[in-house]
Amino acid sequence: MKKILTVLAAALLFAGAASAQEIANFNRGQQVVSPEVTADGITFRLVADYATVVTLTGNWMDYSAAPIPMTKGPGGVWEVTIPLLEPEIYTYNFVVDGVAVNDPVNFKVQRDGTRFLNMVFVPGKRSEVYNEAKHRGTLTTMWYDSALLGINRRMIVYTPYGYDDPKNKKVKYPVLYLLHGGGGDEEAWSSMGRAAEIMDNLIERGEAVPMIVVMPNGNPNQQAAPTLGIETSDVNFRDPAYANAYVNSLVNEIIPFTESHFRVIAKPSSRAIAGLSMGGGHTLSASQLYPSVFDYICPLSISSQDTPEIRAQLRAIKNDGYKL
């Protein structure tokens, strides 16, 4: 006996709009290739018949550098070729008559904070690990309650290839807590930072042991990435009374949650913490405040001054003993 679902019908009213939209996918209007990576360089193209000035900017340029002018050719196609860059993923956008524009024929886009930028991939040894590996882990986007921060919060957890396999259901794994930088959120490492692809490749090559990677949101007012549109809490976490609130939550809430929800080796020798920029600061604070929790620490690209605070943090870690 078949029954037609009615409970879904109300929920899926949106389907009508989606259905109309999907037709539009097939009318892109732009008949150019962009970007085109060859041994001689990278060519960017944009159809902009009525534009007056079109330029290109990218993250391989200095911040003070002027945008690169593009030249209008037949069919209203603006074009420029730059010398080939070192293997890496770069981001870029066009500027059309003063307005930043994504490349409409390149749907490889990354979100950097609140900006969407096109990506161009230059292949080579250094960028190999950004490609999909043969064996791929799982990304789990889940919510946990933080009593310390007073909100429900989202985090993303990478589990390595094989974790989900019923035949491994007794295997336990070490955990890396991987923290994002300022302007980022829980999605930064897995989308912009390609953490899953990198881990898949390192594990496949035998350059990393299979591990779980926990990527929380390091902005204590946020429940989740701002793209979800959830209001932030109005606690002033710059108030010294809330000093280290996020780091305290990480150690006292995120770690226990992780260790109760995943098959984890719950020992300092199987716990690592790493963070970029602001997350590097969180890494140092966590190591100083909780010296017995993590046996592996990795602060990355911290911009800090030589302050008594930083000296105290580094001294605490040094005093605890370390090995490079």
Q: Of 236-255, which residues contact a second copy (CB under 8 A)?
A: none
270 vs 249: CA distance, rounded Å: 19
Residue ranges in 88-107 that form contacts with a second copy under rule CB under 8 A? 88-91, 96-102, 104, 107
The DSSP code for 283 is H
Out of 16, 74, 83, 240, which residue is the one contacting a second copy (CB under 8 A)? Answer: 16
Q: Which is nearer to a second copy, 187 or 220 (CB)?
A: 187
Out of 68, 139, 148, 266, which residue is the one contacting a second copy (CB under 8 A)? Answer: 139
Q: How would you classify the pairing of strands 71-72 and 36-38?
A: unpaired
The DSSP code for 239 is S
Token pair for residue 36?
A: 């085109």
The DSSP code for 100 is E
Q: Does 285 bind a second copy (CB under 8 A)?
A: no
308 vs 140: CA distance, rounded Å: 39
Answer whether 137's CB lies under 8 Å from 201's CB.
no
Answer whether 275's CB lies under 8 Å from 299's CB.
yes
Q: Which is nearer to a second copy, 1 or 241 (CB)?
A: 1
Q: Does 315 bind a second copy (CB under 8 A)?
A: no
The DSSP code for 231 is P
CB of 243 to a second copy, least distance (A): 23
> Number of C-alpha atoms within 13 angstroms, CB side, residue 314?
11
Out of 32, 82, 85, 230, which residue is the one contacting a second copy (CB under 8 A)? Answer: 230
Out of 66, 147, 241, 324, which residue is the one contacting a second copy (CB under 8 A)? Answer: 324
Q: Does 51 bind a second copy (CB under 8 A)?
A: yes
Out of 41, 123, 124, 227, which residue is the one contacting a second copy (CB under 8 A)? Answer: 227
CB of 300 to a second copy, least distance (A): 5
For residue 125, what are the contacts with CB-CB under 8 A and spacing of at least 6? Answer: 87
Q: Which is nearer to a second copy, 254 or 272 (CB)?
A: 272
Give the chain's length: 324
Q: Does 132 bind a second copy (CB under 8 A)?
A: yes
Q: Which is nearer to a second copy, 81 or 102 (CB)?
A: 102
Residue ranges in 146-175 that form contacts with a second copy under rule CB under 8 A? 152, 154, 161, 164, 166
Task: Name the residue type at position 4.
Answer: I
Angstrom distances, CA of residue 216 to CA of 23, 142, 204, 221, 252: 37, 10, 25, 13, 13
CB of 163 to a second copy, least distance (A): 10
Please work out the total of residues on this chain that contact a second copy, with binding judged by CB under 8 A. Answer: 119
Q: Does 198 bind a second copy (CB under 8 A)?
A: yes
Q: Which is nearer to a second copy, 52 or 307 (CB)?
A: 52
- 44: exposed, middle or buried (Cβ count in 10 Å: 0-12, 13-18, 19+): buried
CB of 281 to a second copy, least distance (A): 12
CB atoms within 10 A of CB 289: 16
Q: Does 265 bind a second copy (CB under 8 A)?
A: no
Q: Which residues are registered as beta bridge partners of 112?
A: 115
Q: Does 48 bind a second copy (CB under 8 A)?
A: yes
Q: Which stretch binds a second copy (CB under 8 A): 64-72, 233-241, 248-256, 271-279?
A: 271-279
